[in-house]
Amino acid sequence: MKAKGALIILIILAFSALAAPIVAPYSYKHQFRSYPAAPPMRIHFFLKTDGGYTFRPHVREIQRTPEGYRETGRICNVHLLSRGKLLSCECPCFLLGSDSLGRDILSRIIYGGRISLSIGIVGVCITAVLGLLFGGIAGYFGGLVDMLIMRLTEVLMSLPSFFLLLSLSVVIPPGLSSAQTFLIIVLILSFIGWAGFARVIRGMVASIRTSDHVVASLAMGAGHIRTLIRHVIPLTLGYTVVVMTLNIPAYILGESALSMLGLGIREPDPSWGNMLAEALNISILADRPWTLAPGAFIVLAVIAFNVIGESLRASLVVKEKGQ
């Protein structure tokens, strides 16, 4: 996957999440009681008529029977940009199937992208701020401050991340709203992730502080804080952007793991992680493999962010060699 392709994928995922009420065919909590665990339905673009084939996007209505679902023979037209939706259908239409409560999986994936993607972006932003703050202070001032901050980072880095994540998630009260749970998960993931980044920033700042322009700034009367913010930290931003891009997948996977285990975003609010909880039952997975669809979106987003991050890292290396 090329960087441009990965960027296009992320733009589509982000746009779909932001415009979920328009892009999603249905509400994430709407239940079609007559269609629990319905299989994916295929869109047909041409309809055979007496005069040949006519372009007419449609699906074939399905009906639940004791033996499973079967097509009734009724043709349901699919309309573009109708009824305030990107796609609308004349009958219940499940392009990726429905879950055990009859909710459209595609719609829930689109709405779930709001949480799964934003947790990664917000989480790395908080991590970057903490890493730049503590790493910059430790590298610039050195001495006792450096020793205390580095010992703290070593303690955090020595803890098993996933088990620490599980332990901290237990403190999330069950009665919280999804917005409150979202905030707590972001804070937990950021608390775990900033230490390693801060150590690298500390090393970069320690080498930058002896450069000529930093010494000149201090000689002209600029304070340490002003020098740090205006002349030292900006030189680390290239590396920071690369690390942020590469770390977003870790936050997406962390939220997905917590939600899949029932410790994160809770029903009925969707995230890609809690939608995968249904796939933990091997018998359900064997009968309904389409319940893995949210996992495909997790993999797609993770690969896209990694590809962009690697492309940025390669560009940064080439730029540094050119200097």
CA dihedral for 183, 123, 23, 287, sign (positive or negative): negative
- Torsion angle (degrees, nearest 10) of CA 312, 318, 320, 322: -150
Of 259, 322, 319, 243, which is closest to residue 294 (Cα–Cα)? 259
What is the CATH topology of the domain spanning 110-322?
MetI-like fold (1.10.3720)
What is the pTM assigned to this prediction?
0.85
Residue 289, amino acid: P
The phi, psi pair for 61, rounded to 5°, reads: -60, 145
Cβ proximity of 117 and 13 under 8 Å: yes
pLDDT (tens digit, 0 to 9) for every residue of the chain, 323 residues total? Answer: 688 889 999 999 999 999 999 999 999 999 999 899 999 998 888 887 777 788 888 899 999 988 889 988 889 999 888 878 888 888 999 999 999 899 999 999 999 999 888 888 888 888 989 999 999 899 888 889 989 999 988 888 887 776 776 676 667 777 777 777 777 778 877 887 888 889 889 988 888 888 887 788 878 877 778 888 888 888 888 888 888 888 888 888 888 877 777 777 888 888 888 888 888 888 888 888 999 999 999 999 999 998 888 888 888 766 656 55
Give the pLDDT of residue 187: 81
Rg of the chain (C-alpha set): 25
Give the pLDDT of residue 148: 93
Cβ proximity of 256 and 275 under 8 Å: no
Q: Which residue has tokens 């998960």?
A: 185
Cβ-based burial of 219 (10 A; exposed 0-12, middle 13-18, buried ≥19): exposed
Domain boundaries, the chain: 29-105, 110-322
